[in-house]
Amino acid sequence: MDTFPRRTFLSGISGGFIFDIFTNHSHLDYMCGESLQGFKVTLHHPSELPDMDRHFRVPLDQAVLVGIKPRMITVSEELKSYTPKERQCYFSKEKYLRYFKRYTQNNCLHECYSNFTLQKCGCYPFYMPKNDSPVICGPGSNECLENSR
């Protein structure tokens, strides 16, 4: 089945996604940062930026099982006859974004934030989408970026 994103036909562990994360323990610095060593993992749609506030932790040298409940929104064809203002949303082919290939509400919000920070702070956060001549925000812009959220 050739779909985007890829899907499984089975539920449970047998149809899940399994991967190993290896690290060189000599690269760990227990004096730096948090006392919990390991990885932060975030899952997201492949056409969207990850939200690092929504993550789970994977400690070192441990197996972790994670249950994922996907959220899928479907709409009936009859809704297409309503205007975007009436239904309060856009279909993917109705709205195009400058920095993303696919329209989603999250991508639209990211693009708005990126444009707003450029206008207000004169720069883009390094992790946000940007145009061809990006001005990346430095440490001196942190207060402006925080106030822009």
Q: What is the pLDDT of residues 59-103, one digit of tens each?
A: 888 888 887 777 777 888 888 899 989 988 888 788 889 888 888
Q: What is the pLDDT of residues 60-69, one digit of tens each?
A: 888 888 877 7
pLDDT value for 121: 92
pTM given for the model: 0.69
Fold assignment, 77-148: Helix Hairpins (1.10.287)
Q: CA-to-CA distance for 99 and 132, rounded, in angstroms?
A: 10
Rounded mean pLDDT, 4-18: 74
Rounded mean pLDDT, 35-41: 81
